Amino acid sequence: MTESLTAAVAILKKNKLKLTKQRHALLAYLLTNQGHYTDVVAVDAYMRTEFPGMSHNTVYRNLKEFEEVGIVEQNTEQERTRVKYQCDFHHQHHHHFICQNCGKVTELEMCPMDFFTAQLPGCSVTGHSFELYGLCADCQATGAPATTLVKN
């Protein structure tokens, strides 16, 4: 088991969620795509190929449970829900730069909330989501165009 998979298994146990064959396969699949968001439809298709009797509800429920315990990060863009394996178990709160050509995800180390809350005296911010989109250095160097659809 990789260090990341070991950490995920520990989180499952801590939250009293069993490590079934299906959950292990789901974690392994997400790990293989760790640097990118993957459309949940593609995750569902993969899991139902590996486990033909598995229902859509089971796949989506497991993804939701993984998100709730911090194993999976979720992103919704243009009504498409995508997930990726948590990139930093030690810093659950973080943000990303997402390449609009290759889909590569880069973790950002700083949260810009202090900048924004300073402009909102007397207000209470209860949550936020912050992501940057553009072209990564590799795609920029090749002259690739930014697209609105990110590859799986």
Flag whether 123 is marked binding. no
Beta bridge partners of 107: 96
Flag whether 93 is marked binding. yes
Q: What's the rounded Cα separation, in Å, for the pair 126 and 112? A: 15
66 Cβ contact partners less than 8 Å away, ≥ 6 residues apart: 26, 27, 30, 72, 83
Flag whether 24 is marked binding. no
Flag whether 87 is marked binding. no
Tell me the residue ranges of DSSP E strands in 1-139.
38-39, 72-77, 80-85, 95-99, 105-108, 131-134
Separation of CA 5 from chain center: 15
Nearest to 34 by CA among 110, 96, 127: 96
Q: What's the rounded Cα separation, in Å, for the pair 67 and 83? A: 9
Flag whether 139 is marked binding. yes
Flag whether 99 is marked binding. yes
Nearest to 84 by CA among 138, 47, 32: 32
Tokens of 116: 């924004």
Annotated binding site for Fe cation: 93, 128
Annotated binding site for Zn(2+): 99, 102, 136, 139
Annotated binding site: 93, 99, 102, 128, 136, 139
